[in-house]
Amino acid sequence: AQSVAQPEDQVNVAEGNPLTVKCTYSVSGNPYLFWYVQYPNRGLQFLLKYITGDNLVKGSYGFEAEFNKSQTSFHLKKPSALVSDSALYFCAVSLYYGQNFVFGPGTRLSVLP
Amino acid sequence: NAGVTQTPKFQVLKTGQSMTLQCAQDMNHNSMYWYRQDPGMGLRLIYYSASEGTTDKGEVPNGYNVSRLNKREFSLRLESAAPSQTSVYFCASSQVSAGGPYEQYFGPGTRLTVT
């Protein structure tokens, strides 16, 4: 069975500093990995995905994520955080032959001015 | 291009009442999904539909039924609402093809309270 862990409920970072939101996964097969962001009272919005190829994936709003197969991780990063990045972030995993996307519990990011 | 739309946005039900949540997408996606979001639990899949005419149970299907009316529409029905079904419900769609599953597009959500 697939599972996703986001070990931090909350991440606080000062504006202008780099940020990392952690994600680890467990699947039996090659994973497809996704990051989504949710702003208050809104649906989830897609940020980026890893399907195959280069382990460093670039996405929307200056975010990037690094796929590490040996550590089964897919951490979300941004070199310089903005206050407007404050939101709830979800990591998700899917397998091609299954249709299920399994989401992590979410990490709340607060960027302090 | 509206993306994924959901109705209603808010609903309050009494225990035992029934209702249907509506979802529609205009992106010609083949797969559609219903999730519920509860604090600290992330999103949990209720049902999904890989293609028109097919539906499958997700992680938490008990107390719900779904209908994939056509390629565009996927409805979620609560036959006899219970307080444990108080949650925010999200519909999503995605395209799944030989290249693998693509990202999901989410609707704005329905906030349901069962008293």
A45 touches chain B (CB under 8 A): yes
Residues B81/B19, Cβ–Cβ less than 8 Å:
yes
A100 touches chain B (CB under 8 A): yes
Averaged pLDDT for residues A16-29? 94
Q: With 60 as the cut, is the pLDDT of residue A98 above it?
A: no
Q: Identify the pLDDT of residue A27.
A: 85
Shortest Cα–Cα distance, A37 to chain B (Å): 11
Average pLDDT, chain A: 91
Burial per residue of B15-40, b for 16 or more beta-carbon CB atoms within 10 angstroms, e otherwise: eeeeeebbbbbeeebbbbbbbbbeee
Percentage with pLDDT > 90 across chain A: 75
Q: Are A44 and B4 a contacting pair at CB < 8 A?
A: no
**Ranges of chain B whose pLDDT falls below 50:** none
B43 touches chain A (CB under 8 A): yes
Q: Identify the pLDDT of residue A96.
A: 63
Q: Are A96 and B107 a contacting pair at CB < 8 A?
A: no
In this predicted model, what pLDDT tens digit does every residue of B31-51 receive, in sequence order?
999 999 998 778 999 999 988
Q: Identify the pLDDT of residue A97.
A: 54
Helix (H) or strand (E) holding A20: strand A19-21
Burial of B59 (0-12, 13-18, 19+ CB in 10 A): middle
Q: With 70 as the cut, is the pLDDT of residue A99 above it?
A: no
| Closest Cα in chain A to B109 | A43
Q: Identify the pLDDT of residue B42.
A: 84
Looking at residue B115, what DSSP letter applies? -
